[in-house]
Structure 1
Amino acid sequence: MNAAANWNDILVRDNFQDTGQTPTADPVWESPDIIPFGSDILDFGLLESSYDGPDLGLSHPIVYGQLNRIYVRGKNLRTGCPASGNVRLYYAPGGLLLDPRAWTPLTAEAGGTAVPFTVRGGAREVPPGQICVSRSAFLWPSQNPPGHYCTIATVDTPAHPMSATLPTFSSLVDYLNWVRYNPNVGWRNIDVIPCRQTRYVLSSLAISNLNNTPTRFVFGISGTDLPSGTATFSNTDQQAPFSLTAQIYAPGSDEGYTRSVVLPANYSGTVTVVVQLDQPLPCDARIVLRAYTPVTARAGERERRLAVPLTGVPGLQDALFLELGAYTFVATSSSS
């Protein structure tokens, strides 16, 4: 696909700026069309009026052990004819370097894992330019333990079929490109934390190395309205133990980076991030954690096209980097 807003089917966005262009610009992990909504029923009027914001899911964080409905919203970008399709929703432990092999399909409230998109009134045919939503909500498994999770939505239409079996990926780059280059895929890797604290322990974030060779990674922290401080990324797994610290720069516009670490081939584990701030975190502030890998001489054309320089990475000042994953934490006054 060309790098233009040329998608002509049902779009599930990766972020509010996503208009169907490929590849999607960052952040690709903050889909506002995957909408956790607690035990409430999502009104279609609110679904339409919030299309350009705010993110409805931030006011309804998942409450463990209770009823949690998750809706998926779409929009028909076809110019001359209606569209129709089904949406599926998957979840996995949330993290910086995801292992798609851990994805599990969610079941809808009405049963099944493939849910038709419908418009206001319940029709399956979506006119051009119209918003649609999953006919019934997907249900979060009440038995899931507390933690951070990500969700992936896929849209299956006659023009752009999408298998119920998610693809497998032989490298982290292949997974990243699958999200960026498919407007019928939405990814939500965003969570809510309480504001007005100075210390946050963000635990059990997934990390994985899908490559069949040991691979070097760098972690970064940035955000909005962040006081200065530090973030320590650590892993106690004896296969890949590390403790790496990055500086947080107020007011949060600059990104701080850790030293690099090499993860073993085909590795899967977790990372805990301890954020220590000099001042309490303001409400509506954002903490964004990212993972990068330096681009090697063996990198392909698409990998090099997505790579960017980073300023201030210890020991790797002249390298180009590919962003492989990220997680956003939004501070609110009413998070659970």
Structure 2
Amino acid sequence: MNYETTITAELSPNQRYWEQGLKYFEKQETPQVAMQNLWDDLPPPGNLDLLATIIGNLYADYFWSGLQLDVEKLAVMMNASLGINISDCRKSAGVAYRNWYGLLVRANFGNDGSIPKNGSTTESPDVIVNGLSQLTPRRLIELWNQTQWGPEPGLKNYTYARAQSKGIEVPIKKPQIRMFYTDNGFNPPPSSWIKMYTYDDKAQISDLVNINGDTKLGPGDRSANNDPFGFTPQGAGHFCVIACAVTEFFSNNPPTNVSNWNSATWLRYNGAAGWHNLNVSETGEELLKFYNPDDTPQRFRFVAHCRKLPVGSEVTMEASDVSLSSGATIEGAYQEVVAEVEVPAHYEGAMKVTFPKLPDDASIDWQLHWRLPPGHENHLQAMAWAADGAAGVLDGDALINLGSTAFVGSMD
């Protein structure tokens, strides 16, 4: 029995050119040859934005820098292959990578595929831990706009991910998902990620299927993993869970050259990766891991967004090895508690946080911001992010969000 898909993609008149580009890809033509052939196929005067979008995304693996799709690499190839001036090529390459084309794993409920992502990068509704209850792909897709999160510590949990074919106007024939977990906290390097296996312990990757159970995803199709992963969280069960969608166009491997800038870039510019750091707190006491992988000390700003905590209660942050000790008394329904610290190079540590036992409707969301003053090697790039809404500014310094982790009183 076939079910109606939950969303219908409106294909543009340009679908025929996407299909032509796919033919070159499947014939294993090089991106240079495919670009020249597709340029010849396009009607005059030629649509350079469309050419860049099709070739730049069907050959995503070629243009992926390890952190993001490389606008300059695409522009240089267009210039060399077609003889078009580099300024026009850069403009069209920028258009090609302004939105995500392929499998989108949402960073948050407001994530529509625009790049760089805006809002939180660690509240993905498409990363799902459902305790001891198994869910079918169909059910996961029907619950598309709901978060399913109920880890059972010490037990083997059914774990899932969702993704949607977004922007791309040809079928995705090999949609798959990998999942990882790591300690709860902020900016964990990939060296700390632990691969999950499917629930039967046989594989580290699972096929994605649409609502009808098909592995071939049409444009706009929503999907979920067919074989659940098994995750056995220890302790209180509070971990970061990560999902990376894979296609024939994009291998989506974790970054290898790790720094604060690279981690932030990968999080903001990889539309096929989702993180989830949201947990129910039973104790009001947590350890949050954080890192500075850079070769130089860096300034970090921790902000606890407190919502509906009991008035008169205390929120504290402490990491004695970096002389961090801060706290505040809650005085209203919403309050921010802030602590700043300089963290030495190649640091790996944990911040102990305490807060009251949370009422059902209360939450506390810790965010880590990397503070880049004028003169910092990444300051100008970070200010460009701020202009795109992907970073903040405070007293002339750029603020790059390196992650967040939230606790709630109840998921109900």
Shorter chain as denominator, the TM-score bin is 0.7 to 0.9
Structure 1 unaligned runs (5+)? 311-316
Specify the alignment match of 1:218 in structure 2: 301
Q: Note the C-alpha offset of 1:224.
A: 3.4
* Residue of 104, 107, 130 corresponding to 2:194: 104
* Residue of 226, 236, 255 corresponding to 2:336: 255
- Residues 1-336 of structure 1 correspond to what in structure 2 (within 5 A)? 6-52=99-145, 54-57=146-149, 60=150, 62-78=151-167, 80-83=169-172, 84-110=174-200, 111-141=202-232, 144-163=234-253, 166-194=254-282, 200-202=284-286, 204-228=287-311, 229-236=313-320, 238=321, 240-246=322-328, 248=330, 250-252=332-334, 254-258=335-339, 260-276=340-356, 281-296=358-373, 297-300=375-378, 301-304=380-383, 305-306=385-386, 307-310=391-394, 319-332=397-410
What percent of counterpart residues are identical?
Answer: 26
Q: Counterparts of 1:175 and 1:249 in 2: how far apart (Å)?
A: 35
Q: Counterparts of 1:205 and 1:191 in 2: how far apart (Å)?
A: 12
Q: Counterparts of 1:64 and 1:148 in 2: how far apart (Å)?
A: 8
Q: Is the 8 A contact 1:247 1:257 kept in 2?
A: no
Sort the Cα spacing of 1:331 and 1:145 in 2 relative to 1 into closer, same or farther, 3 A: closer
Q: Counterparts of 1:115 and 1:333 in 2: how far apart (Å)?
A: 27
- Aligned positions, number: 309
Q: Counterparts of 1:247 and 1:309 in 2: how far apart (Å)?
A: 26
Q: Counterparts of 2:295 and 2:194 in 1: how far apart (Å)?
A: 23
Q: Is the 8 A contact 1:34 1:73 kept in 2?
A: yes
Q: Is the 8 A contact 1:285 1:330 kept in 2?
A: yes
| Structure with the bigger percentage of strand | 1
Structure 2 unaligned runs (5+)? 1-68, 70-93
| Structure with the bigger percentage of helix | 2
Q: Counterparts of 2:400 and 2:302 in 1: how far apart (Å)?
A: 12
2:170 alignment partner AA: C
Please provide the CA RMSD for this pair.
2.4
Normalising by structure 1, report the TM-score: 0.83
Q: Is the 8 A contact 2:137 2:226 kept in 1?
A: no
Sort the Cα spacing of 1:269 and 1:68 in 2 relative to 1 into closer, same or farther, 3 A: same
Normalising by structure 2, report the TM-score: 0.69
Q: Counterparts of 1:246 and 1:7 in 2: how far apart (Å)?
A: 41
1:190 alignment partner AA: L
Q: Is the 8 A contact 1:234 1:271 kept in 2?
A: yes
Q: Is the 8 A contact 1:173 1:324 kept in 2?
A: no
Deviations 1:92-118 (A, max 9, x none): 101034233201110012421111111
Q: Is the 8 A contact 1:148 1:205 kept in 2?
A: no
Sort the Cα spacing of 1:324 and 1:248 in 2 relative to 1 into closer, same or farther, 3 A: farther
Deviations 1:115-159 (A, max 9, x none): 1111234321012222111111111136x4445210111111112
Specify the alignment match of 2:28 in structure 1: none
Q: Is the 8 A contact 1:221 1:248 kept in 2?
A: no
Q: Note the C-alpha offset of 1:67.
A: 2.3
Q: Is the 8 A contact 2:137 2:225 kept in 1?
A: no
Sort the Cα spacing of 1:79 and 1:157 in 2 relative to 1 into closer, same or farther, 3 A: closer
